[in-house]
């Protein structure tokens, strides 16, 4: 399926794999080794214009395709992920540095997203409204038209497919712009799967590119909805540009999620959850536990056990070795992580594990006694760094957890789940897990954040996806035209 002779050095435009205008390409680099894995086409803003025109054309006939046929395409796509598991996972491991478990999870979610989306074409598309007139009054959901999907490097398959699949299912055409560092996993695989599933030509197009291509997509007059996943600063720009052009932007942005360990928690269980939440996928997940808030009575044991666990985790090339953590995506990200760690030490945090790297392999790191203004505690790190802070009562825990502007995910560990839920009610967050860590994803659950973590729109589940990717139309029908005073 991923035979490079089909797509190497090309973009997907108007139903064909073609050279980008200008013929430019990106080299796909394996972060674990620095080796070149191949080439993808490098789209330009001109390609966005051409893709939007093709998409407008293709969308009309796709929306008019019987719902059962649209659903069948989504179901076939769902089946094909596992049929091509080895190839897709192999690319995810090498291109992104994901450990095989993460690549397998991404594959499962990709399939689940397609199966969930397969139920959308036949979902009730409207409501009959009360009316004071002798008429039938209906609200109807209609496709938004052309949807632009912009996705980041970190979990490229899930973060692209979670918007692509429901948008297609609801009768839209999609232009996908993945991050160039992960354009095979987050782009080529998806287009190839839908080609094999029988999606008509031009309904899904692929434009790997940088910010300038994302900007062109956001401002193109034929693109009506943008589904953006990425950093808060880039999300602000996308939101501003979309607002100027009077189009909707669904913004899924950064996080610095809090993980609260109450005094009745089992410290070993809490540490196991914390290590996964902080270090899984090298901490390059929007929901990663950023702030570990631990009750005084467990604090010392928690720090000691988390540091011991961090010291034991193997870090290395996930394509060749059995490791818990793979590489950071590139040097710029690694240097940003390291600057936040050293800046936190200078601010007074105590380094108890990690804080070192070899190439792009960053050791899982624990910073204890973090001052609340230490940068690795106060900002999103996007790396395997756990900052731990103590609290003595629930009011103090709430004050710590609610500080800062992010509001993506929240984890609370306590033997009294009801108390955990009551505590969660005091802490604004788009996602809450009582007795679990913060990193969770299911295709049927409405995923999204509050504050600077997003605009409050959601991906996941029929209701959220219909809100995201359709417009509402009011329709009335009468047997006889009404009469008016003049
Ligand atoms: P980024 O914002 O730099 O890039 C994300 C995507 O946006 C890329 O495709 C990039 O090319 C594009 N882009 C950048 N500037 C743009 C602009 N001005 N207009 C249009 N497109 C633009 O993000 P990153 O640093 O590569 O990714 C990590 C960030 O993504 C973290 O902050 C993380 O928390 C966030 N994230 C959020 C979620 C979520 O669901 N909330 C999920 C994963 C990652």
For residue 211, the CA-to-ligand 1 centroid distance in Å is: 9
Say what the pLDDT of residue 369 is.
98
Atom of ligand 1 nearest to the CA of 454: 41
Ligand 1 contact via 113 beta carbon (within 6 Å): no
Ligand 1 contact via 253 beta carbon (within 6 Å): yes
Domain ranges of the chain: 4-253+454-474, 257-434
Of all protein residues, the one whose alpha carbon is nearest to atom 14 of ligand 1 is 211
Residue 124 scores a pLDDT above 90: no
Cα distances (Å, whole numbers) of residue 326 to 124, 135, 255, 329 = 44, 63, 21, 9
Ligand 1 contact via 257 beta carbon (within 6 Å): no
For residue 446, the CA-to-ligand 1 centroid distance in Å is: 19
Residue 438 scores a pLDDT above 90: yes
Say what the pLDDT of residue 306 is.
98
The pLDDT tens digits of the residues spanning 79-99 come to 999 999 999 999 999 999 999
The pLDDT tens digits of the residues spanning 142-199 come to 999 999 999 999 999 999 999 999 999 999 999 999 999 999 999 999 999 999 999 9
Angle, nearest 10°, between helix axes 67-83 and 156-169? Answer: 160
Ligand 1 contact via 238 beta carbon (within 6 Å): yes
The pLDDT tens digits of the residues spanning 282-326 come to 999 999 999 999 999 999 999 999 999 999 999 999 999 999 999
Say what the pLDDT of residue 46 is.
97
Say what the pLDDT of residue 201 is.
97
CA distance 39 to 48: 20
What is the token pair recorded at 389? 């802070």
Q: What percent of the chain has pLDDT over 90?
A: 99
Residue 268 scores a pLDDT above 90: yes
Work out the average pLDDT over 251-272: 98
Of these residues, 252, 379, 396, 463, which one is catalytic?
A: 252
Say what the pLDDT of residue 456 is.
86
Work out the average pLDDT over 200-219: 98
Cβ–Cβ under 8 Å, residues 401 and 291: yes
CATH fold of 257-434: Aldehyde Dehydrogenase; Chain A, domain 2 (3.40.309)
Of all protein residues, the one whose alpha carbon is nearest to atom 3 of ligand 1 is 231
CATH fold of 4-253+454-474: Aldehyde Dehydrogenase; Chain A, domain 1 (3.40.605)
pTM for the model stands at: 0.98
360 band by pLDDT with thresholds 50, 70 and 90: very high
Work out the average pLDDT over 206-227: 98
CA distance 229 to 211: 13
The pLDDT tens digits of the residues spanning 96-123 come to 999 999 999 999 999 999 999 999 999 9
**What is the torsional sign of CA 202, 205, 207, 212?**
positive
**Mean model confidence pLDDT for the chain:** 98
């Amino acid at each position: 399926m991923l035979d490079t002779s089909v797509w190497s050095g090309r973009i997907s435009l108007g139903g064909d794999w073609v050279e980008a205008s200008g013929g430019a390409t990106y080299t796909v680099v394996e972060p674990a080794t620095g080796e070149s894995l191949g080439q993808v086409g490098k789209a330009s803003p001109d390609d966005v214009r051409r893709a939007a025109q093709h998409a407008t054309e293709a969308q009309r006939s796709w929306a008019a395709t019987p719902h059962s046929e649209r659903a069948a395409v989504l179901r076939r796509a769902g089946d094909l992920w596992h049929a091509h598991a080895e190839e897709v996972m192999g690319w995810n491991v090498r291109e992104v540095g994901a450990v095989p478990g993460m690549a397998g999870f991404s594959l499962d979610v990709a399939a689940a997203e397609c199966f969930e989306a397969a139920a959308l074409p036949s979902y009730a598309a409207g409501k009959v409204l009360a009316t004071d007139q002798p008429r039938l009054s209906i609200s109807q959901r209609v496709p938004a038209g052309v949807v632009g999907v912009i996705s980041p490097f970190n979990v490229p398959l899930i973060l692209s497919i979670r918007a692509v699949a429901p948008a297609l299912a609801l009768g839209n055409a999609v232009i996908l712009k993945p991050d160039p560092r992960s354009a095979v996993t987050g782009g080529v695989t998806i287009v190839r799967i839908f080609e094999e599933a029988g999606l008509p030509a031009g309904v899904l197009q692929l434009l790997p590119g940088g910010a300038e291509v994302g900007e062109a997509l956001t401002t193109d007059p034929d693109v009506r909805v943008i589904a953006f996943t990425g950093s808060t600063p880039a999300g602000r720009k996308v939101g501003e540009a979309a607002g100027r052009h009077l189009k909707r932007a669904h913004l899924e942005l950064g996080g610095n999620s809090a993980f609260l360990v109450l005094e009745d928690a089992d410290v070993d269980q809490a540490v196991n959850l914390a290590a996964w939440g902080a270090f899984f996928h090298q901490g390059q997940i929007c929901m990663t536990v950023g702030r570990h808030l631990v009750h005084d009575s467990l604090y010392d044991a928690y720090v000691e056990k988390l540091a011991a666990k961090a010291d034991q985790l193997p870090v290395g090339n996930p394509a060749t070795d059995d490791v818990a953590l793979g590489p950071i995506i590139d040097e710029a990200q690694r240097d940003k992580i390291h600057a936040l760690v050293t800046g936190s030490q200078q601010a007074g945090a105590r380094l108890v594990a990690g804080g070192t790297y070899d190439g792009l392999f960053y050791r899982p790191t624990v910073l204890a006694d973090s001052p609340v203004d230490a940068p690795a505690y106060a900002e999103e790190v996007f790396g395997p760094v756990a900052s731990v802070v103590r609290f003595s009562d629930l009011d103090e825990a709430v004050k710590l957890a609610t500080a800062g502007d992010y509001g993506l995910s929240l984890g609370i560990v306590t033997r009294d789940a009801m108390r955990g839920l009551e505590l969660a009610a005091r802490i604004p967050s788009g996602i809450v897990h009582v007795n679990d860590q913060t990193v969770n994803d299911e295709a049927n659950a409405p995923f999204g954040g509050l504050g600077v973590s997003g605009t409050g729109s959601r991906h996941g589940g029929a209701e959220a996806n219909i809100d995201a990717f359709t417009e509402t139309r009011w329709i009335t029908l009468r047997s006889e035209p009404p009469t008016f005073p003049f």
